[in-house]
Structure 1
Amino acid sequence: MALAVFPVVNRLRVALATWLHKFKVCGCSGSGFFGIGWFRMGSAEEKVVAVIMVGGPTKGTRFRPLSFNIPKPLFPLAGQPMVHHPISACKRIPNLAYIYLIGFYEEREFALYVSSISNELKVPVRYVKEDKPHGSAGGLYNFRDLIMEDSPSHIFLLNCDVCCSFPLPEMLEAHKSYGGMGTILVIKVSAESANQFGELVADPTTHELLHYTEKPETFVSDLINCGVYIFTPDIFTAIQGVSTQRKDRANLRRLSSFEALQSPATRSLPSNFVRLDQDILSPLAGKKQLFTYETREFWEQIKTPGMSLKCSALYLAQFRFTSPDLLASGDGVRSANIVGDVYVHPSAKIHPTAKIGPNVSISANARIGAGARLISCIILDDVEIKENAVVLHAIIGWKSSIGKWSRVQASEAVSVEDEVVVINSIVLPNKTLNVSVQEEIIL
Structure 2
Amino acid sequence: MGSSEEKVVAVIMVGGPTKGTRFRPLSLNIPKPLFPLAGQPMVHHPISACKRIPNLAQIYLVGFYEEREFALYVSSISNELKIPVRYLREDKPHGSAGGLYNFRDLIMEDSPSHIFLLNCDVCCSFPLPEMLEAHKKYGGMGTILVIKVSAESASQFGELIADPETEELLHYTEKPETFVSDLINCGVYVFTPEVFTAIQGVSSQRKDRANLRRVSSFEALQSATRSLPTDYVRLDQDILSPLAGKKQLYTYETRDFWEQIKTPGMSLKCSGLYLAQFRFTSPDLLASGDGTKNATFLGDVYVHPSAKVHPTAKIGPNVSISANARIGPGVRLISCIILDGVEIMENAVVINAIVGWKSTIGRWSRVQASGDYNAKLGVTILGESVGVEDEVVVTNSIVLPNKTLNVSVQEEIIL
Same-fold call, TM > 0.5?
yes
Unaligned runs of at least 5 residues, structure 1: 1-27, 29-41
Could you tell me which residue of structure 2 aligns to residue 439 of structure 1?
Answer: 411
1:130-177 deviations in Å (ceiling 9; x for gaps)? 000000000000000000000000000000000000000000000000
- Alignment of 1:43 with 2:3, yes or no, is yes
The alpha carbon displacement at 1:258 in A equals 5.2
Could you tell me which residue of structure 1 aligns to residue 263 of structure 2?
Answer: 304
Q: Which moved more, 1:324-333 or 1:139-148?
A: 324-333
Moved segments of 4+, more than 6 Å? none
- Alignment of 1:75 with 2:35, yes or no, is yes
TM-score, normalised via structure 2 length: 0.95
- Alignment of 1:382 with 2:341, yes or no, is yes
Could you tell me which residue of structure 1 aligns to residue 315 of structure 2?
Answer: 356
The alpha carbon displacement at 1:268 in A equals 3.0
Cα distance between partner residues in 1 of 2:227 and 2:253: 37
User: Any conservation in 1 of the 2:206–2:226 contact (CA below 8 Å)?
Assistant: no
1:403-422 deviations in Å (ceiling 9; x for gaps)? 10000002111111100111
Could you tell me which residue of structure 1 aligns to residue 379 of structure 2?
Answer: none
User: Any conservation in 2 of the 1:259–1:267 contact (CA below 8 Å)?
Assistant: no
Size of the aligned set, in residue pairs, is 402
Unaligned runs of at least 5 residues, structure 2: 370-381
The alpha carbon displacement at 1:334 in A equals 1.1
User: Any conservation in 1 of the 2:209–2:226 contact (CA below 8 Å)?
Assistant: no
1:26-62 deviations in Å (ceiling 9; x for gaps)? xx3xxxxxxxxxxxxx112100000000000111211
The one-letter code of the counterpart of 2:406 is N
Q: 1:87 aligns with which of 33, 40, 47?
A: 47
- Alignment of 1:283 with 2:242, yes or no, is yes
The one-letter code of the counterpart of 1:284 is L
1:100-148 deviations in Å (ceiling 9; x for gaps)? 0000000000000000000000010000100000000000000000000
Matches within 5 A, 1:31-430: 42-252=2-212, 254-256=213-215, 261=220, 265-410=224-369, 411=382, 412-430=384-402
The alpha carbon displacement at 1:266 in A equals 3.6
The one-letter code of the counterpart of 1:103 is G
The one-letter code of the counterpart of 2:159 is E
Secondary structure (helix, strand or coil) at the match of 2:250 reads strand
User: Any conservation in 1 of the 2:11–2:118 contact (CA below 8 Å)?
Assistant: yes
Q: Which moved more, 1:196-205 or 1:265-274?
A: 265-274
The one-letter code of the counterpart of 1:269 is L
User: Any conservation in 2 of the 1:407–1:422 contact (CA below 8 Å)?
Assistant: yes
Shift in CA distance, 117/425, structure 1 to aligned 2, threshold 3 Å: same
Could you tell me which residue of structure 2 aligns to residue 15 of structure 1?
Answer: none
User: Any conservation in 2 of the 1:379–1:395 contact (CA below 8 Å)?
Assistant: yes
1:192-245 deviations in Å (ceiling 9; x for gaps)? 000000000000010000000000000000000000000000000000000000
The alpha carbon displacement at 1:69 in A equals 1.1
1:332-379 deviations in Å (ceiling 9; x for gaps)? 111111111000001101111111111000000100000000000000
User: Any conservation in 2 of the 1:188–1:223 contact (CA below 8 Å)?
Assistant: yes
Could you tell me which residue of structure 1 aligns to residue 375 of structure 2?
Answer: none
Secondary structure (helix, strand or coil) at the match of 1:393 reads strand
Cα distance between partner residues in 1 of 2:120 and 2:220: 38
The alpha carbon displacement at 1:330 in A equals 1.1
The one-letter code of the counterpart of 1:438 is Q
The one-letter code of the counterpart of 1:292 is T
Kindly indicate which of the two structures has a greater share of residues assigned to helix: 1
The one-letter code of the counterpart of 1:337 is T
Cα distance between partner residues in 2 of 1:260 and 1:150: 41
The one-letter code of the counterpart of 1:132 is K
Q: Which structure has the greater CA radius of gyration?
A: 1
The one-letter code of the counterpart of 2:280 is F
Cα distance between partner residues in 1 of 2:351 and 2:302: 16
Cα distance between partner residues in 1 of 2:129 and 2:104: 23
TM-score, normalised via structure 1 length: 0.89
1:46-97 deviations in Å (ceiling 9; x for gaps)? 0000000000011121111110010000000000000000000000000000
Could you tell me which residue of structure 2 aligns to residue 21 of structure 1?
Answer: none
